[in-house]
Structure 1
């Protein structure tokens, strides 16, 4: 009976310990924050990205590519891993439909 008790305790311990790396990875991934796009970034330069739009009626916030909703910064597929500011603009601006 001691062997079954030890085996059950060992299995419970292993299951508990196995959860920690998964929980840690999920926790850290949830806290990762993308950096804002730099105007000096080569892609930003090629698209003429600016943090303040100089074109009336056009900004990242009303571009079809902007994925930030109403947030002041959001993702854009043109700048993977970085975020654009809602008030920004680039020459790939496209109206939301």
Structure 2
């Protein structure tokens, strides 16, 4: 009986560690890159101040992902999922042409 409990605890600890590490790795990979094909098509910038104001005349100062209706994070999150990018994470201070002000 003792050996079974020890084996169970060892396996459980290994699985928990693996899940924690995979979550950290996945979070980094899930961020949208400006070079992503969807990001290029929508003019996504990690920093809204760098948005192409001539190509995207719709852009206005103060428009950032954090206050967009599509942003699925809390106001203090640096990155959060966005359905426009398939659930990948966008920068809170980013911008793209799909911007729609949160009501």
Q: Same fold (TM over 0.5)?
A: yes
Match of 1:11 in 2: 4
Contact in 2 for aligned 1:52/1:87 (Cα 8 Å)? yes
Structure 2, unpaired ranges of 5+: 52-58
Match of 2:69 in 1: 64
- The SS at the match of 1:78 is helix
Instruction: State the Cα distance separating 1:80 from its structure 2 match.
Output: 4.2
Match of 2:56 in 1: none
Which aligned pairs between 1:1-97 and structure 2 lie closer than 5 A?
A: 8-32=1-25, 33-35=27-29, 36-53=31-48, 54=51, 55-56=59-60, 57-69=62-74, 70-80=76-86, 82-97=88-103
Match of 1:4 in 2: none
Instruction: State the Cα distance separating 1:62 from its structure 2 match.
Output: 0.6
Equivalenced residue count is 90
Instruction: State the Cα distance separating 1:26 from its structure 2 match.
Output: 2.7
